[in-house]
A and B are shown apart, each in its own frame.
Chain A
Amino acid sequence: MRRFLPLALLLAWPLTAEPALEACREHQEHGRRAEARRCYRAMLEAEADARRQAEAYWKLGDRKRANESFRAAVAMRPKDAAARVAWGRLFLETYNRAEASKLFQEALGIDPQSAEAHLGLALVASEGFESAAVEQANQALKLRPDLTEAHDLLASLALEEEDPKEAVEHLDRALATKGCPLQAYALKAAIDFLAGRSSSEWVTKALAYNPTYGEVYSIPARFFVITRRYKEAVGLYRQAVALDPELWDAHAQLGVNLWRLGEEAEARRHLETAYRGDPYSAVTVNSLRLMDSLKRFKTFSSPRMVLKLQEKEADLLRPYVEELLGKAIETYRVKYGFTPAQPVQLEMYPDHEDFAVRTMGMPGLGALGVTFGYVVAMDSPSARPPGSFHWGSTLWHELCHVFVLERTHHKAPRWLSEGLSVYEETLAGEGWGDRMTPDVILAIKNKKLLPVAELDRGFVRPTYPAQVPVSYFQAGAICELVASKWGFPKLLAMLDAYSAGRGTEEVFEQALGLKAAEFDKEFAEFLRARTEKVVTSFEPEWRKLMENVVRLAREKKFAEVMEPARRARDLYPDYVEPGNAYEILAEAMLAAGDKEGAAREQERYRVAGGRSPRALKKLAALDSELGRRDDAIHVLGQLLWIFPGDEELLARLGDLLLEEKQAQRAVRELESLLALKPIDPAGAHYNLARAYYQLQDREKTREHLLEALEAAPGYRPAQKLLLEINR
């Protein structure tokens, strides 16, 4: 999703007074494309200067030759900073941020006063939502206060942070310069549309200046995408491509966002159009490739849900996903007082990079799931190493977004939507939701939490590496405070107020009778009471304690490790990562022959959010040994929401359920086991036959016995059951 499109080409050399080019640029700026092309072609024939040739090739759409000409220009004039800046802009347009950045840096090495190079770096940073964008744009303006595009960029960045007031200030400054006003018009139009107006005088002005300026719609559309209002974005992108069918990025974005709404066929058409016009776009190429790979997905539809699961794992996952998704839809329907107007579509990707492409069009996304509205995409349980994420919790989190976004027509701010999702997943089950990580503890200790009115910034443009997860934690804790002190209905009231277009200040006053700043004080006190112990002891006490605990455990000094491990556990109970105090204590207790104690400790680990399949299976084995089969079944049942594709887990759970005469559930787990193509198919079929035998389903019993005995004719228990049903 490009911030500014072909217009940027006009602005690459705003200061280069070159009469031969000016006429061509003039045509281009006003949308006289045929004239502009003729002009550039004529210039190419007459012009020997490589840099000017580069611009002409670029404007004529021949980026390869433009690149070659820039290379020649830079070789001829190694001290020409402007040529490097322009070349950098070509790379930026062709999605190569790394090369672009390098050229802008080289330009600054030659000319530290190059405002255009700073602007280039600002644009690179802004594409990655990095906070350096603002710094670099301001630096550019310090050097050249009339640099129109830098004002436009700052306005755009302000709008990303939902600060239209500041954006208007920047735009007024932009319009006071002599530069091209089109981007400023488009951004002013965006402010109008975001405020809920259906038309804008700025569109009229832009089209009077350039009748084919499709960006007047595509630039506003981008802000609707950022605020997850995909329907509105799609409407604007449609207008953009209607005005300018060669606006390839708008076609690509239209495709991506139609797909987010579940309109795959139309999405593909626009992505293919985009590819024909701009084959450099990784977003377009990745999206089309992923669409092709979706042929290997199975779709399961019902009135309430549509599941898209990769064919290799569809049979395994379907029963669990259907159960949890159905439960989530019903829970949220009641709790949020909202009935979905259409089925919820859930797509699960076993390859995380496919999920990232589905989400952003590009690989490299850190998230586990994303909700576009009624369409949810997420990593499947097999997308990450076992135990590294809780897919059930992620699904629960994302489903909350569906209800919050749709209930508020996508107007809930990011912090509240994420906060509610975090809050809800924590309530969904023992050990569900995220734990307080060391990053969160350090952020609290170093007073890095944001005021609630600015919390969205922590999600959109983080200023330190862990700020996004810290913001999730903070948002969740805010919702917890509101629900516990004022009651959950107040959270719904806040959603309604945002839905009605109120700002955060108004929302807090209206819903809680507090100013946002007063709420921040309440929240600080709430957090202090909840986290003081761990925040004050984390460094150095807890860290040193854990170093000692881990050393003692490695040296197998189990008697000595008990006391410090207990202290470490109690100081920071949320710490369930590898090497945690719970597992060390359990190991020490087992070494001392205390199975009860070990099981108790492992259970604490589970409830605290421990997710290691190995540790949880160990707990289930201990429970079984101690005669607590119900507990073992519960533990293994919970492990299904973490990593169901585990043959040992499914076989153990199937066995336990059979022993407990829970045949119906045993059938589900054993069918899942078969879907995994187990190492022991005969054993799995035999157990399934046992389950059906308990259910008195003679035909299914026979069917699975024959399967078992076909693989292993001498399998005595299966033989005996076959004789029994034939008696």
Chain B
Amino acid sequence: MAPAPEVGGGVRTEVQKHKWLMAAFLVLVAPALRAQTGATYFLIVGGLGGEPDYEQRFAAYVKDLEQICRSAAGDPARVTTLSGKTATKQAIQAALDSLARATTPADSLAVFLIGHGTFDGTTYKFNIPGPDVTGEELRGLLDRIPAGRQLVVNATSSSGVCAEVLARENRIVVTATRSGTERNATVFARYWVEALRDPAADADKNESISALEAFRYAEEKVKRFYADQKRLATEHPRLEGKLAASFVLARLGSAAVAATDPARRKMLARREGLEQQIDALKYKKSALPAEQYKKELERLLLELARVEDAIEAAGGKQTTP
């Protein structure tokens, strides 16, 4: 790998290196998630492919997701994977029953459904070995889980209909399609998995990838996929729910550790204050002369950078194991 750039490149260089290698192990996270929201539990279900090509693809996505989620959960016991023959209705029910017993309102739950779905005009079904699971059945099972923040990512065809079926106050629902009538096999899962591994998905560079950032990344990639391939887009991803920006799925560095360090609380408060000032300034951007805006922005950014330096110096740069 190349030496670090002249200044300030150390962390970024590491990130870039891994970005290009598409390494999965940037997602170093468990303590962070636990510290913020209690524990995060994951359920990954890979449905039927129907033909070898899809079977292989779905299996690969499930495997990659499992790896990412294990890293994120910290404790592998908090990740349940059902794929291929094991992904039966009975097994899904059992897994969700188990999560209903294990989680508390302080916890978070993320459920990923990979595969094909169908919609007959009335009912959505997730295609699995044996009897399929319907959208309503999934809702019933999820509603019994006490985890206070829930994310359901349904990456299947026709999944759009689930946005309404699964909607609940504390639940984010991400679907690969806009509605139940977008019935073609989807590519959304591929880019969702990619989002959780690619630092480029971290749009605000806070070293964590939220559900909202992952969604925006995957949505854009899906759009480009169809545009590049000169194909009519047969899927339009959808996100419902208010918690997506704060539902962190992966952290790429030490931000969470810093946030919990009482010794640096004062500096952290200063940082938060500056961030709020920057947000307020950005809000006024169109009303200010360009030069004045730029000057003020630079002043605040410089100050924020100095505070970050001080935080770092006080605690040393930490990374999660």
Contacts and interface: CB of A to CB of B under 8 A. Distances in A.
Contact of A386 (B228, B282, B304): B228
Interface in A611-650: 621, 624-625, 629, 645
B266 interface: no
A682 B308 contact: no
Interface stretch (B9-17, B140-148, B161-169, B173-181): B9-17
Contacts of A724: 6-8
Interface stretch (B27-35, B85-93, B113-121, B293-301): B293-301
A708 B202 CA distance: 13
Interface string A691-727: 0011000000010001011111111111111111010
Given A717-B8, A717-B10, A723 B305 contact: yes
B205 A682 contact: yes
A26 B37 CA distance: 94
B8 A679 contact: no
Interface string B194-230: 0000011111111100000000110011000001111
Nearest to A659: B2
B302 A723 contact: yes
Contacts of B227: 382
Given A678-B200, A679-B221, A682-B203, A719 B12 contact: no
Contacts, number: 123
A385 B230 CA distance: 6
A683 B19 CA distance: 12
A344 B201 CA distance: 42
Nearest to B216: A679
A719 B301 contact: yes
Given A682-B203, A714-B308, A723-B305, A706 B230 contact: no
B75 interface: no
Nearest to A383: B230
Contact of A384 (B203, B216, B230, B304): B230
A706 B204 contact: no
Contacts of A708: 205
Interface residues of A, number: 46
Contacts of A236: none
A572 interface: no
Contacts of A706: 294, 297-298, 301
A629 to B, nearest CB: 7
A655 B5 CA distance: 11
Given A679-B221, A717-B11, A712 B20 contact: no
Give the bracket for the number of chain B residues in contact with chain A. 35 or more
B8 A719 contact: yes
Nearest to B229: A385
Given A655-B20, A683-B200, A716-B308, A722 B302 contact: yes
Contacts of B6: 693-694, 724
Interface in A363-405: 382-386
A386 B225 CA distance: 10
Contacts of B301: 706, 709-710, 713, 719, 722
Most buried by A among B20, B206, B220, B275: B20
Interface of B: 2, 5-12, 16, 19-21, 199-207, 216-217, 220-221, 227-230, 255, 274-275, 278, 282, 294, 297-298, 301-302, 304-306, 308-309
18 contacts: A382-B228, A385-B229, A386-B228, A625-B21, A679-B217, A680-B203, A682-B205, A694-B6, A706-B298, A712-B203, A714-B207, A715-B205, A721-B9, A722-B302, A723-B305, A724-B6, A724-B7, A724-B8
9 closest A-B pairs (Cβ-Cβ)? A720-B8, A712-B205, A659-B2, A715-B205, A719-B305, A717-B12, A680-B200, A724-B7, A721-B8
Given A651-B200, A714-B207, 10 more contacts: A658-B5, A660-B2, A680-B200, A706-B298, A708-B205, A710-B282, A712-B203, A716-B308, A719-B304, A720-B8
